[in-house]
Chain A
Amino acid sequence: MASSASSSTGSSKKIDANGGPDTADKEEKKEDRTFECNICLDTARDAVVSMCGHLFCWPCLHQWLETRPSRQVCPVCKAAISKEKVVPLYGRGSTKQEDPREKVPPRPAGQRTEPEGGSTFPGFGFGDTGFHMSFGIGAFPFGFFTSTFNFGDARPGAAPHGTPQHLEEQYLSKLFLWLAVLFIFWLLLA
């Protein structure tokens, strides 16, 4: 573990100090392993990253997803994944797009969003004011609700169970919960 930590902070000088091209070679290999596909354990080709952050070759991941269509999980952490939600990695030295199309569908493309234009006020088009407004109000009871709870928890001498004060607090929390629920109902109906 210690060695991996040292390798991340400007390793080349340290290796020279330690001497030996052997160590340099080993360190290099270790660094390479960061970019190994989690399935074939080789350096990832046509690399993609899942939403949970795990790196694979696209052909490898594709085959994994094909093997178990009913159970689409990350091979490393078992988070839910899908073909549509992987991010391709384009390094500078990445391969041309020609290779594995015969057997494997092409790697999904990256998603590009244009940066926001400077002049318009972002996010407040006239068309969707309704949405923004209701969201603003809707968030209110939640915030209030959670803050009351947090307040109760953080208090140094929170009332012990069974005491009238404790009961009263419980009653208040429940009241707020109901208020929040009613509020959401009202929002839904409105």
Chain B
Amino acid sequence: MANIAAQRIKREFKEVIKSEEVAKCAIRVELVNDNYTELKGEIAGPPDTPYEGGNFILEIKVPETYPFNPPKVRFMTKIWHPNISSVTGAICLDILKDQWAAAMTLRTVLLSLQALLSAAEPDDPQDAVVAKQFKENVEMFQLTARHWTNAYAGGPNANKDFDDKIKKLIEMGVDEHEARVALSSYNWDMERATEQLFS
């Protein structure tokens, strides 16, 4: 089959650019290379979620078999979410796997990811640590997710307590991101995080 993938991405690209979500600054796509095989997506954190005010960059790779197979999407921006790996940015979302349908587009994918940020599914997790926190202590999860949005996605809500704890660990010679991961994983318990970092 002649390259239907590139043809389609070209059309979709125009579709996204013209869409009303772009006008509302909710989603965006950019080309990374000229042959339409790699794109950069961007979604705004949905309102009334810990991701509000943040901008999340996505890596979108279009396989040769697109649209018969889904695009490969992962978060470039670090994010604290049960269905997204806090390490790799890999996403657990059915439409990017077996529930993909050939009529779905970049626009629907970006909107689905935005919906995923509003409605996590902790029973089908990508990141077990985050999912556990979400189930056992949802307030702690929200504070942590908001803090990550502030630290990595330009979100407006800083958490002084969390920032201070990270600062202390940095003074002890720990890398900032590692400190954040350790503290986030242990519900911001300084002792247990330090124990894990120095063991």
Q: When each residue 65-97 of chain A gets 1 if its CB lies under 8 Å from chain B and 0 otherwise, what string results? A: 001000101111010000000000000000000
In A45-79, the 8 Å CB interface with B consists of 54, 59-60, 63-64, 67, 71, 73-76, 78
Contacts A59-B1, A71-B98, A76-B101 given; does A39 touch B7 at CB 8 Å: no
How many chain A residues touch B (CB < 8 A): the figure is 18
Q: Is the interface of B mostly helix, strand, loop or mixed?
A: loop
Give B residues with C-beta under 8 Å from A.
1, 4, 7-8, 11-12, 65, 67-69, 98, 101-104
Docked complex Cα distance between A54 and B11 (Å) = 19
Docked complex Cα distance between A63 and B101 (Å) = 12
**Are B65 and A67 closer than 8 Å at their CB atoms?**
yes
User: Could you list 15 examples of A-B contacts with CB < 8 Å?
Assistant: A38-B103, A39-B67, A39-B68, A40-B4, A40-B67, A41-B8, A63-B1, A63-B68, A64-B68, A64-B102, A67-B65, A67-B69, A75-B104, A76-B103, A78-B101
- Which chain A residue has the least Cβ–Cβ distance from B65? A67
In A31-48, the 8 Å CB interface with B consists of 38-42
- Which chain B residue has the least Cβ–Cβ distance from A71? B98
**Are A40 and B8 closer than 8 Å at their CB atoms?**
yes
A sample of 5 more A-B contacts (CB under 8 A), given A64-B68, A73-B101, is A38-B103, A39-B68, A39-B103, A67-B65, A75-B101
**Which residues of chain A are near B98, meaning CB under 8 Å?**
71
Tell me the minimal C-beta distance from B111 to chain A in angstroms.
16
Docked complex Cα distance between A92 and B13 (Å) = 32
Q: Which of B7, B12, B68, B104 has a CB less than 8 Å from the CB of A67?
A: B68
Q: Is the interface of A mostly helix, strand, loop or mixed?
A: loop
- Which chain A residue has the least Cβ–Cβ distance from B99? A78
Tell me the minimal C-beta distance from B72 to chain A in angstroms.
16
Tell me the minimal C-beta distance from A97 to chain B in angstroms.
20
**Which residues of chain A are near B65, meaning CB under 8 Å?**
67
Tell me the minimal C-beta distance from B10 to chain A in angstroms.
9
**Are A40 and B7 closer than 8 Å at their CB atoms?**
yes
**Are A75 and B7 closer than 8 Å at their CB atoms?**
no
**Are A41 and B12 closer than 8 Å at their CB atoms?**
yes
**Which residues of chain B are near A59, meaning CB under 8 Å?**
1
**Are B103 and A75 closer than 8 Å at their CB atoms?**
yes
**Which residues of chain B are near A38, meaning CB under 8 Å?**
102-103
Tell me the minimal C-beta distance from B4 to chain A in angstroms.
5
Docked complex Cα distance between A160 and B11 (Å) = 59
Q: When each residue 109-145 of chain A gets 1 if its CB lies under 8 Å from chain B and 0 otherwise, what string results? A: 0000000000000000000000000000000000000
